[in-house]
């Protein structure tokens, strides 16, 4: 068998290190010539330190015209669609006549065309890979049953293989035929009929199936992880790491957290504070040329929804060997910082360590201690209040005892946090209220309650400490001019800013920039001035929409929202691949590897890791949002017929969206109002010229729940006059 075929056969079993291939094929001239030929033909490539087998041909990409690109269809409406192209910072608009009958998830070749209305506009020239196993629902129109894709509800596709048991509302998995012509030519073939979906559990399963997400790891990954964990020799590790097991180190997380990747230790110094952030040393366990690394790279991030998680790493690592569990020796990557009395970082040092957490702190318990011992005494002193006779302490003796060993550290940490928070405000870092939902489940995994997620003082404190360590990691990489995975947030685009200012004007608001102010300070002042008012949701969500999307890049560009020059993600390597990636780079830094070798080693890796991390983050965020909508719809389905007070959150020509205090948002369709030919006034008010009735963003209204669609995460309201 020719050597080229033997190399291909070897790579069919999985990615291999180049060094391993050289050893196997004895590094002959024929081997090097075959490898170069396979690379030039696009049969193999080097990704993430491994040689992998490719499906496509690299030479075809090189010969492609400059105005032709590859991309993925990410959105489809009745008249147009959008294609995401790696080379562009915005999705490409494609008119319906140029979509070639493609659906969301199809890989396509696209030619860029001139446009007066869009920054990027194009036409699809070829379908490279059709997405299969799409989720659809069965709908009835004119007496016939059709498949309607979840990603494009305006498409009603004829079903080729109608079944007797098929009925309206059934959820089906289908393959689509007829692409390449037009959407009118598409037909659906049923692969599986899943029946009616009337609970969140089944709806979430479908959501994950549609997004091709699985919680399970391949056997080879699990076997490899078990071997790695069993090989750890702590006695040897102590020889090459700093022993911090004697220090007062502790973690603070939610009570249910099992993948604990950060811990802190803090003390006062003569000049200010010594703060150390200790992060799980995941890169020690997950090596570049490993199966678990490839799995982590592919997943890119852990996905959290409800009380579930689809982890980036197997539980033996995420909840076991890497989790900084209380009372257990753990390998860590430490960022030790020296700060002055105002909370400014004067110096920092990264090093490998062994730690032992004294305590798993819980946010809610520490928030109670902070309120009882810091906030409450200040309130009493300010207003000269006396404690009511017989007042019971909010913090029990049992909790006091639990935190006795770390109590002084918590008080010092809060002292430093108050100074860091002051600096955050001074530099104009934005604090946007996101109205995130917190889902409460009963013992049967049914949604029992929905609450608005609140951030207490301890959550904000830990966030500030993590920001410091993240900033130090980026600062080190930028100063050394290293290839890195930076967290980048650019300034808002001019077009978005114009739209946002116009929306503010309609409510008599302005984005005022005072002399010497940064744009961030102007945003922050507007956010603070509307916080707690009926316009809070409108303004805060508007500020969020006006921002550019945060992403990962291999070059430093700063973080606009945090108003920081240096920023990266260093503190969560258990659940985010970019953090793991920069741990790998920083490990070589602390080990004294020369800068030129680091640059050569990680240049391609940093770029690919940044792109992959950005893509997987977007996918995870969409899944988490969709899952939350499903849970909320299930909860509200138990309250059909009940009345609630809410706030008009947005208006469209087809109806009014109302948000309740528990974050549930539903639609009052215009057909359920007494409006006749209503007029949408500049996107903030729906007005009826006949009755004079109008609904404006921010209005308080009363609604009744009249229906829900758990699969789609939709809620229907009607107004209660």
Tell me: pLDDT of 450 over 50.
yes
Lowest mean pLDDT among 18-22, 196-200, 476-480, 484-488: 18-22
Can you say how many angstroms the Cα of residue 515 is from the centroid of all Cα atoms in its chain?
36
Tell me: pLDDT of 56 over 60.
no
56: three-class secondary structure by DSSP:
coil
Question: Which pLDDT band, with edges at 50, 70 and 90, does 495 fall under?
Answer: confident
Question: Which pLDDT band, with edges at 50, 70 and 90, does 122 fall under?
Answer: very high
Q: What is the pLDDT of residue 61?
A: 44
Backbone angles phi, psi at 401, to 5 degrees: -65, -40
Distance CA 84, CA 702 (A): 41
| Residue of 19, 549, 566, 50 lying closest to 290 (CA atoms) | 50
pLDDT digit string, tens, across residues 536-555: 988 999 999 899 999 999 99
| Residue of 252, 291, 636, 189 lying closest to 439 (CA atoms) | 636
pLDDT digit string, tens, across residues 616-633: 999 999 999 999 999 999
Q: What is the pLDDT of residue 254?
A: 93
Q: Which pair of tokens denotes residue 153?
A: 């509800």
Question: Which pLDDT band, with edges at 50, 70 and 90, does 59 fall under?
Answer: very low
Angle, vertex CA 350, rays to CA 356 and CA 268, nearest 5: 65
Tell me: pLDDT of 49 over 90.
no
Question: Which pLDDT band, with edges at 50, 70 and 90, does 63 fall under?
Answer: low
- Tell me the mean pLDDT in the region 546-574: 96
- Residue in the structure block whose two tokens are 């990954």: 221
Tell me: pLDDT of 62 over 50.
no
pLDDT digit string, tens, across residues 671-711: 999 898 899 987 789 999 999 999 999 999 999 999 999 98
Determine contact, residues 691/676, Cβ cutoff 8 Å. Answer: yes
pLDDT digit string, tens, across residues 134-143: 899 999 888 8
- Tell me the mean pLDDT in the region 411-420: 97
Q: What is the pLDDT of residue 46?
A: 73
346: three-class secondary structure by DSSP:
strand
Q: What is the pLDDT of residue 58?
A: 41
Distance CA 391, CA 374 (A): 17
- Give 23 or 592, the one with higher predicted confidence: 592
Q: What is the pLDDT of residue 302?
A: 97
pLDDT digit string, tens, across residues 396-414: 999 999 999 999 999 999 9
- Tell me the mean pLDDT in the region 504-514: 89
- Residue in the structure block whose two tokens are 């009607």: 718
Domains defined along the chain, listed by start: 3-60 (1.10.10), 64-129 (2.40.50.140), 134-196 (2.40.50.500), 473-631 (no CATH), 639-719 (2.40.50.140)
- Tell me the mean pLDDT in the region 157-165: 85
Distance CA 329, CA 281 (A): 12
Q: What is the pLDDT of residue 636?
A: 97
Lowest mean pLDDT among 32-41, 181-190, 249-258: 32-41
- Give 200 or 52, the one with higher predicted confidence: 200
Quick one: 623 exposed, middle or buried, by C-beta within 10 A (0-12, 13-18, 19+)? buried
Determine contact, residues 329/356, Cβ cutoff 8 Å. Answer: yes
Tell me: pLDDT of 288 over 50.
yes
Q: Which pair of tokens denotes residue 720?
A: 């209660």
Q: Which pair of tokens denotes residue 265?
A: 């230790």
pLDDT digit string, tens, across residues 316-368: 999 999 999 999 999 999 999 999 999 999 999 999 999 999 999 999 999 99
Distance CA 624, CA 437 (A): 11
- Which residues are registered as beta bridge partners of 46? 51
Highest mean pLDDT among 154-168, 223-237, 505-519: 223-237
Distance CA 90, CA 85 (A): 8
- Tell me the mean pLDDT in the region 271-285: 98
Tell me: pLDDT of 610 over 90.
yes
Question: Which pLDDT band, with edges at 50, 70 and 90, does 387 fall under?
Answer: low
Distance CA 138, CA 145 (A): 6
Q: What is the pLDDT of residue 443?
A: 87
Q: What is the pLDDT of residue 197?
A: 87
- Strands 242-243 and 345-356, how do they pair? parallel
Q: What is the pLDDT of residue 50?
A: 74
Backbone angles phi, psi at 46, to 5 degrees: -105, 120
Q: Which pTM was predicted?
A: 0.84
| Residue of 167, 63, 48, 143 lying closest to 109 (CA atoms) | 63
Q: What is the pLDDT of residue 670?
A: 92
Q: What is the pLDDT of residue 658?
A: 96
Question: Which pLDDT band, with edges at 50, 70 and 90, does 48 fall under?
Answer: low
Mean of the per-residue pLDDT values of the chain: 91
Q: What is the pLDDT of residue 393?
A: 75
Question: Which pLDDT band, with edges at 50, 70 and 90, does 390 fall under?
Answer: low
Residues contacting residue 36 through CB under 8 Å, at least 6 positions apart: none
Tell me: pLDDT of 154 over 80.
yes
């Amino acid at each position: 068998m020719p050597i080229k075929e033997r190399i291909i056969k070897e790579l069919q079993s999985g990615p291999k290190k180049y060094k391993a291939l050289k050893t196997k094929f004895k590094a002959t001239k024929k081997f090097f010539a075959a490898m170069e030929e396979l690379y030039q033909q696009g049969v193999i490539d080097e990704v993430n330190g491994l040689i992998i087998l490719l499906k496509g041909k690299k030479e075809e990409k090189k010969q492609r015209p400059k105005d032709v690109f590859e991309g993925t269809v990410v959105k489809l409406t009745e008249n147009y669609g959008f294609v995401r192209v790696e080379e562009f910072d915005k999705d490409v608009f494609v008119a319906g006549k140029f979509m070639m009958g493609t659906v969301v998830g199809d890989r396509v070749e696209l030619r860029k065309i001139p446009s007066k209305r869009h920054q990027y506009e194009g036409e699809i020239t070829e379908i490279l890979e059709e997405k299969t196993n799409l989720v659809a629902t069965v709908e009835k129109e004119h007496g016939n049953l059709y498949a309607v894709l979840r990603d494009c509800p305006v498409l009603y596709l004829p079903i080729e293989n109608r079944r007797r048991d098929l009925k309206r509302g059934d959820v089906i998995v289908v393959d689509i035929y007829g692409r390449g012509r037009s959407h009118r030519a598409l037909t659906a073939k049923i692969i599986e009929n899943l029946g009616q979906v009337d609970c969140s559990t089944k709806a979430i399963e479908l959501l994950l199936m549609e997004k091709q997400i699985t919680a399970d790891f391949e056997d080879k990954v699990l076997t490899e992880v078990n071997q790695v964990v069993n090989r750890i020799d702590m006695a040897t590790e102590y020889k090459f790491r700093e022993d911090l097991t004697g220090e007062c180190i502790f973690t603070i997380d939610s009570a249910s957290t099992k993948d604990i990747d950060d811990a802190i230790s803090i003390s006062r110094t003569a000049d200010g504070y010594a703060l150390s952030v200790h992060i799980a040393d995941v890169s020690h366990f997950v090596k570049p040329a490993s199966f678990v690394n490839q799995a982590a790279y592919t997943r890119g991030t852990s996905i959290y929804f409800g009380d579930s998680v689809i982890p980036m790493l197997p539980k033996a690592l995420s909840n076991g060997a890497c989790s900084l569990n209380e009372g257990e020796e753990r390998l860590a990557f430490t960022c030790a910082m020296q700060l002055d009395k105002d909370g400014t970082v004067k110096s920092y040092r990264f090093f490998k360590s062994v730690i032992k957490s004294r305590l798993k702190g819980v946010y809610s318990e520490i928030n109670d201690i902070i309120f009882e011992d810091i906030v409450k005494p200040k309130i009493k002193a300010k207003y000269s209040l006396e404690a009511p006779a017989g007042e019971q302490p909010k913090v029990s003796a049992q909790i006091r005892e639990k935190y006795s060993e770390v109590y002084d550290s918590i008080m010092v940490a809060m002292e430093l946090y108050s100074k860091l928070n002051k600096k955050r405000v001074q530099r104009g870092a934005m604090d946007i209220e996101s109205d995130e939902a917190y889902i409460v489940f009963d013992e049967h995994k049914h949604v029992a309650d929905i609450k608005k997620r609140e951030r207490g003082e301890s959550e904000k404190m830990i966030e500030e400490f993590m920001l410091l360590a993240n900033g130090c990691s980026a600062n080190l990489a930028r100063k050394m001019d290293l290839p890195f995975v930076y967290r980048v947030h650019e300034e808002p685009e001019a077009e978005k800013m114009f739209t946002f200012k116009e929306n503010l004007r309609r409510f008599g608001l302005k984005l005022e920039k005072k002399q010497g102010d940064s744009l961030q300070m102007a945003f922050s002042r507007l956010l603070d001035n509307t916080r707690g008012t009926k316009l809070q949701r409108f303004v805060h969500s508007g500020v969020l929409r006006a921002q550019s999307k945060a992403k990962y890049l291999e070059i430093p560009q700063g973080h606009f929202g945090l108003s920081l020059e240096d920023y990266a993600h260093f503190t969560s390597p258990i659940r985010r691949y970019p953090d793991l990636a920069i741990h790998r780079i920083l490990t070589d830094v602390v080990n004294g590897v020369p800068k030129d070798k680091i640059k050569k080693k990680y240049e391609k890796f940093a770029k690919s890791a940044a792109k992959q991390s950005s893509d997987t983050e977007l996918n995870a965020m969409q899944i988490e949002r969709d899952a939350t909508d499903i849970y909320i719809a299930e909860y509200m389905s138990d309250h059909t017929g009940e009345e609630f007070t809410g706030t008009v959150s947005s208006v469209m020509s087809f109806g009014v969206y109302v948000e309740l205090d528990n974050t549930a948002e539903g639609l009052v369709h215009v057909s359920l109002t007494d409006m006749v030919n209503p007029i949408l006034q500049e996107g903030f008010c729906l007005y009826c010229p006949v009755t004079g009735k109008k609904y404006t963003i921010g209005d308080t209204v009363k609604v009744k729940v009249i229906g829900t669609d758990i699969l789609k995460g939709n809620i229907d309201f009607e107004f209660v006059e």
